[in-house]
Amino acid sequence: MMILKAYTVPHPPIIIPEIGRGEERKIQATIDAYHAIAKEIRDLQPDTIIISSPHSTVYSNYFHISPHSKASGSFISFGFPTISTNVSYDTTLVQRIEELAILSDIPAGTQGERDNQLDHGVLVPLYFINQYYSDYKLVRIGPSGLSSQEHYRLGQTIQKALDSDKKVIYIASGDLSHKLKKDGPYGFVKEGPIFDREIVSILNEANFLKLLSLDSTLCHKAAECGYGSFNIMAGVLDGYDVISNVYSYEGPFGVGYVVAGFTPTSPNINRHFLSQYNESLQEGQRSIRNHEDEYVTLARQSLEYYINHHKPLPRPKNLSKELTSSKAGVFVSLHKNGRLRGCIGTTGPTTICIADEIIHNAISAGTRDPRFPKVTAKELPDIIYSVDVLFPPEAITSINDLDPKRYGVIVKSGYKSGLLLPNLNGVDTAEEQVDIARQKAGIHKKDNYTLKRFEVIRHH
């Protein structure tokens, strides 16, 4: 059974009249759109409503599905404990999704719920729906820090889990950029309105391939909270023609709110977007490997050999003298699906040559970066490598001596030290560069610290 309909909705608590106290009238178009979709849901009479909310229990590498049979929640954190909702969960569908996720090697399940209270990402849409219809059970899912592709795969799994005897709708709860206005609560960045325009266009066209491919740096800079939910929804609609309708978009408070609906119609083999995305990605990776230099090739061979043979790669005999006769610090960076997957390096030489430095640090980047689990053999074809060979760092006296496109930075305070490479996507100013390096080292902004800069030769 295909999903009956899917929606994207925002979740500003200010939309509730008691909380907004008149301010909600500034987003009247969103209110009207909410009433319109609530009436549609009443007419559809679903047995189950699935809601993904970024304010549910969220993990970096795991999709949490709320367990138990019942749940409740209120707007107590916004000062209104009497505005509350009670729901029953569809435990049968929850169990089915969890089982299929395990079979599909998707990290999703019901373990590790930190708070069983319904969050406002769920409460806001239910506030409107319950005015018209309440004879349903709920499934609540938290997005994760995993890639857009993994969110889409979870959506595909949800589609497979649907029972032919149940009528189900999907609600992707999430706001767009939180940085649309200088006088807004989160300030303004130029990426904010760019992101919102992209998303509204994507939703209007139901162009989920473009949704999957959206630049992760743009999403991060825009400070959005709906992208993960939207990708799960796209996966739920995988393989079907879709009639789309954007009911409203507005952002008077500096946060983007979009309400859109999607009605699946007939199957369409041309709308399996994840396979299209992966084919495009693999073609790009083949092209990259055809043009990689010996530094990158050595890094790739080193990690692949270690993962497959459980021991370091013996230094190849056909390397250039540049690799075997010179010493330098080296950083090896791994990316997967456009996201960092590991990065380890040395600021100065620790081995007898650059080649050995690359071999050692490539293995460490894939298996010893504490921010990530170890790279698996299954992931190796998807890894993109870059190798930075460092020039010796030099002390500087002012942040004005930095240029994030040319220089990397080392921030040091006592025994704490943080490093950031140059010319990274999303790092546009020296202030951003120093802040990221400082935070990596656990150095407080008010601590006394010194700065060093360095240049690199990047191979990628």
Question: Using one digit for the tens of pLDDT, what is the confidence trace for 265-300?
Answer: 999 999 999 999 888 877 766 666 667 899 999 999
Q: Side chain identity at 425, as an amino acid letter? A: N
Top pLDDT among 164 and 297 is at 297
Confidence grade of residue 62 (pLDDT, cut at 50, 70, 90): very high
CA distance linking residue 237 with residue 155, whole number of Å: 8
Confidence grade of residue 1 (pLDDT, cut at 50, 70, 90): low
What is the per-residue pLDDT for 382? Answer: 84
Mean pLDDT over residues 21-25, rounded?
95
- Name the least confident of 33-47, 86-100, 195-209, 444-458: 444-458
What is the per-residue pLDDT for 285? Answer: 67
Report pLDDT digits (tens) over 311-363: 999 999 999 999 999 999 999 999 987 788 999 999 999 999 999 999 999 99
What is the per-residue pLDDT for 165? Answer: 86
Report pLDDT digits (tens) over 409-441: 999 999 999 999 999 888 889 999 999 999 989
Report pLDDT digits (tens) over 69-83: 999 999 999 999 999
The answer to whether residue 230 scores a pLDDT higher than 90 is yes
CA distance linking residue 453 with residue 82, whole number of Å: 56
Count CB atoms within 10 A of the CB of residue 45. Answer: 12
Which pairs from 86-91 meet CB under 8 Å and 24+ separation?
87/118, 87/126, 87/137, 87/138, 88/137, 88/138, 89/137, 89/138, 89/139, 89/140, 90/47, 90/48, 90/137, 90/138, 90/139
For residues 51 and 120, is the Cβ–Cβ distance under 8 A?
no
Domains of the chain: 5-275 (3.40.830.10), 291-459 (3.30.700.20)
